[in-house]
Chains A and B, each alone.
Chain A
Amino acid sequence: MSIFIDGSTKLVVQGITGRDGSFHAKQMIEYGTHVVAGVTPGKGGQTFEGTVPIFNTVADAVKETGANTTVIYVPPMGAADAMMEAADAGIALIVCITEGVPVLDMTRVYPFVHEKGARLIGPNCPGLISPGKSKVGIIPGRICTPGPIGLVSRSGTLTYEVVFQMTRVGLGQTTCVGIGGDPINGTNFIDCLAAFEKDPDTRAVAMIGEIGGTDEQDAARFVKEQMTKPVVGFIAGQTAPPGRRMGHAGAIISGSSGTAAEKIQAFEDAGMSVAKRPKDVVALLQARLRP
């Protein structure tokens, strides 16, 4: 099994005719994801690559194709509206790749999506992949392989680095989820850990965090209190100076809170194995998987 996406995922691509949207729609189709519709206002009635019907609205796409998941590649100023439109159309899983969504927009989007009962992943995230089944977003398919590890991360390329090192030694994944680097996002570490705990095929979890906020500390408490499966952690940003935004809008040490040291301490207190280097994640997972 896997979490959030699998063979039954029927995907809409919002912004399918844009530069990023069209490129990644092709990649997802090649990977085997069921891309059932695209949405670009004003281009309804056309088709993408001759096969995928394009609609003006998400509501039309859902009505005509039964889509249950969406991935959003629209520009930052329109991304909030795209997320709310998808939730309003009854989409169950909304994945927003767009980077640069204003944080005050997210204070409106989050309660809206939540009240509609949808799950939002992102924004500013690489999306997710259940190797061999479905990929929604931009994680390169060839660096992943099916297997027993669940992976959740706030980063993009750092995730690729860790996943690739796993795949190289034959350690595969059930699902890899990038939850995104913004201060307000739809899905946090705990949501993913809880899903991996329930997934019978996931035997161990890798959690890749970074400086800023307290999401990792909260997740560590969850691991200690609610998880039976082993969790290996890594935190990026041990050398980051306080008060500076390290690329990701959410990666900032505010005052004395959100430091790598306090997050690593929380991981250790929860009985997790903590990797000192990205490559150590693999060996620690292998050690925890041994009976």
Chain B
Amino acid sequence: MNIHEYQAKEIFRNAGVPIPPGEIAHTADEAAAIAKKFGGTVVIKAQVHAGGRGKAGGVKLAKTPDEAKAIAAKILGMQIKGLVVHTVLVTPAADIATEAYAGIIVDRASKKAVFMVSPAGGIDIEEVAATTPEKILRLPVDARYGLLDFQAMRMGEFLYADIKQARAAAKILKQLYRAFSESGASLAEINPLVTTPAGDVLALDAKMVLDDNELERHTDLMALRDETAEEPSEVLARKANLTFIKLDGNVGCVVNGAGLAMATMDLVKYYGGDPANFLDIGGSSNPEKVVNALRIITADPNVKAILFNIFGGITRTDDVANGIVTATKQNPLKVPIVIRLTGTNEEIALKILTENGFSAMTDMDDAVQKAVQLATGGKAA
């Protein structure tokens, strides 16, 4: 789960990380009032689940409350990578002497949480890794012991020659690790970690991604989810316990299992079509899930044909068939449907479908080709 910068900052602050104050605004007037309260120059930052906010014009300085109002009016409602900005963070502008990077992620190869720190901060860390890898220190953490003092200090000294700043950074890294592990995060990042002309070390930005699998343990963090910052169809799918990702094509796909769902999308492309979505109805065979899946897919006006690809293992294909019948009785389909199912209770499923006027196929390739033909009006191969 993605959370916003201001939410991540709150979590980091609670762990002790020094972060300048800030308040959020949903309107230009609110932004002006906050700027007036802080006095002096403020930074107005779009709160949106997308990287590259600065480049997109979503981060701007304002010298006066009037200017803050004008800038906030421009940023609120703007689209960054297709996502509309509903909230801005207003924070006093800090004097910056140097910019560094500090982050922690779960690394698949070492099977550990790994810190990455670099004195070259403020920019995309992947770019630093690609062009000047010697400017990055990677440090794996054994989860059983946590980040040890000497490890934090080694990173502090890698970042700063000044011992006081190195110590301050080490302390921040330990606080960052605490925030990361106690929140059940899969990523926590400070970019930039700055020094001020007075020599203080501060976090000016904060990013955090929470592990969806851990949210059950953190009901307080669950409340941070901002559904207005997500694709509406994906919010609906999550509530129906479906894994759904919207894409730009016109063949709506309903599949059981993530790997088979990806392979189905690939096969749609292979036969000259374009998938409208990724949708995994999961392993359990609940007709209600099929009803919800069809509701979400048919709401997409791009969808010109619907393709079911079900390999019944735990999933009972007769449950899927019943789901299709129920759903189409409630909301008759306006686009053609191609059903492929095989496996558990296949004979019963075929009988249910035939009795209700549907035909079904058993071969995956045949079904995909037919769905592509229907979606493209027979133009594709």
Contacts and interface: CB of A to CB of B under 8 A. Distances in A.
Contact of B213 (A103, A156, A161, A211): A103
B211 A104 contact: yes
Nearest to A23: B314
B106 A238 contact: no
Given A104-B181, A107-B143, A156 B111 contact: no
A279 B144 contact: no
A76 B111 contact: no
B280 A247 contact: yes
Interface stretch (B23-31, B95-103, B190-198, B263-271): B263-271
B364 A250 contact: no
B87 interface: no
Nearest to A276: B270
Given A156-B313, A247-B280, A238 B269 contact: yes
A140 interface: yes
B313 A104 contact: no
B311 interface: yes
Contacts of A117: none
Contact of A210 (B112, B216, B259): B259
Q: Is the interface of A mostly helix, strand, loop or mixed?
A: loop
Contacts of A143: 313, 343
Nearest to A76: B213
B41 interface: no
A276 B269 CA distance: 11
A268 B324 CA distance: 41
Interface in A91-129: 100-104, 106-108, 110-112, 126
Interface in A239-291: 239-241, 244, 246-251, 255-256, 260, 276-279
A268 B314 CA distance: 34
Q: On chain A, which size bracket covers the interface?
A: 35 or more
Q: On chain B, which size bracket covers the interface?
A: 35 or more
Contacts of A155: 257-260
A77 B216 contact: yes
Given A183-B108, A247-B278, A277-B267, A159 B144 contact: no
A214 interface: yes
Given A111-B142, A156-B283, A238-B269, A278 B214 contact: no
B247 interface: yes
Contact of B266 (A106, A214, A238): A238
Interface string A137-178: 011100100000000011111111100100000000000000
B181 A247 contact: no
A138 B213 CA distance: 22
A90 interface: no
A209 B213 CA distance: 23
A152 B270 CA distance: 24
A239 B247 CA distance: 10
Interface string B111-126: 1110000000000001
B211 A247 contact: no
Contact of B106 (A103, A108, A111, A234): A103
Contacts of A213: 108-109
Contact of B262 (A101, A139, A211): A211
A246 B111 CA distance: 20
B163 to A, nearest CB: 31
B17 to A, nearest CB: 19
B245 A241 contact: yes
Interface string A205-233: 00010110111000000000000000000
B77 interface: no
A77 B344 CA distance: 30
B47 interface: no
A285 B342 CA distance: 23
Nearest to A99: B283
Contacts of A77: 216-217
B112 A279 contact: no
A237 interface: yes
Nearest to B242: A247
B286 interface: no
Contacts of A138: 313-314
B277 to A, nearest CB: 11
B165 interface: no
B243 interface: yes
B126 A255 contact: yes
A277 B280 CA distance: 19
Contacts of B214: 102-104
20 contacts: A102-B213, A103-B106, A138-B313, A140-B344, A154-B259, A155-B257, A155-B259, A156-B259, A157-B255, A158-B262, A160-B260, A161-B263, A183-B108, A184-B111, A236-B259, A239-B247, A241-B247, A244-B278, A247-B258, A247-B261
Interface of B: 106, 108-109, 111-113, 126, 142-144, 181, 184-186, 211-214, 216-217, 243, 245, 247, 255-263, 265-270, 275, 278, 280, 283, 311, 313-315, 342-344, 364-365
What 3 A-B pairs come out closest when comparing CB atoms?
A155-B259, A247-B258, A157-B257
Interface of A: 76-77, 100-104, 106-108, 110-112, 126, 138-140, 143, 153-161, 164, 181, 183-184, 208, 210-211, 213-215, 234, 236-241, 244, 246-251, 255-256, 260, 276-279
Given A103-B214, A107-B111, A183-B108, 15 more contacts: A76-B213, A76-B216, A77-B217, A104-B106, A104-B186, A106-B111, A157-B315, A161-B311, A214-B108, A236-B259, A236-B262, A239-B269, A240-B278, A247-B243, A247-B261
